[in-house]
Amino acid sequence: MKLIVIAVDFSPASANALLYGVQIAKGLNVKVILFHAYTLPSSIPAIGIGISNIGVMFEIKQQLDDFAKLILKGNAPEVETVCEVGNPQEAIINIAKEKEADLIITGMKGSGKNIKKVFGSTASLLTAGANVPVLIIPEEAVFQSPDVIGFASDGNINSLREDLYKFKEIKEAFHSKLFVVNVVKNEDVEHLKVSENLDEENFSDIAFEFPVDADIRQGLDAFIKQEDVKLLVMMPHNHDWAERLFRKSETKEMIFHTHIPLMILPHTYRR
């Protein structure tokens, strides 16, 4: 990795995401772009909007610089602040593509129905539109080295090697123990089905676990607590698996229930 984009909106959640992201950047020895997207006030008249836009941009850029100085103290990585006018989700994706970022980090604001309405679309659009992993940091999550990573697998061994490549640098930089966790309904049948397709030589440093639970979220949560998982990684390929995971809610629900950082892998990936 060479570059991480950390999206902020000056909220406590984004301040926490910045703190967490900086620690990840230090571990990876990469540069950070601190990014904020904003919209112009609707009351600005058409005449002179260019001047108004420059004024607004200057003010927000100063606010972003001050925000960075307030949060980033001591031995921080190289940080560049960027602000642009536009829809936040689209602007974040565009800046990541333009700068060829390797990871996007964003904060998650608390919990509750009102927060879901505000934040749900942002997370959904980011994970759907980005071609690099998106790391979502809960507001209450305190940075801990991701020395134990759980990858929630749907049992698709054929794509596993490619999936692991997308976050291998984090695993290597933090010397993480990696669990590939496939929550199964019937251990005798499904465990064997997956195990038969494993290439043990190429996955020798990975622990494969098969918790038995009809509810994937419940099985994952129990495993996270049992192994003290610090980072959960997900990318469902299998429609049936996704249905089991989110049968009682939309895909975004996992984001609001997780209490540890959650990384969503893209279906396409820029190497």
pLDDT tens digits for range 116-163: 433 344 556 677 778 899 998 988 889 999 999 999 887 776 778 788
Q: What is the pLDDT of residue 192?
A: 56
- CATH class as words, domain 148-262: alpha beta
- In angstroms, the CA 220 to CA 159 distance is 20
* Residues facing 105 on adjacent strands: 6, 135
- pLDDT exceeds cutoff 70 at 188: no
- In angstroms, the CA 245 to CA 250 distance is 9
pTM score, whole prediction: 0.83
How many other CB atoms sit within 10 Å of the CB of residue 174? 19
Q: Residue 184 in 3-state DSSP?
A: strand
- pLDDT exceeds cutoff 70 at 242: no
Q: Where are the CATH 3.40.50.620 domain residues in the chain?
A: 3-138, 148-262
Where are the alpha helices (H) located in the chain, listed in sequence order? 12-28, 49-71, 88-98, 113-129, 160-165, 168-173, 192-195, 216-227, 239-245, 253-257
CATH architecture of 3-138: 3-Layer(aba) Sandwich (3.40)
pLDDT above 70: percentage of residues in the chain: 72
* Residues facing 209 on adjacent strands: 181
DSSP 166-179: TTHHHHHHTT-EEE
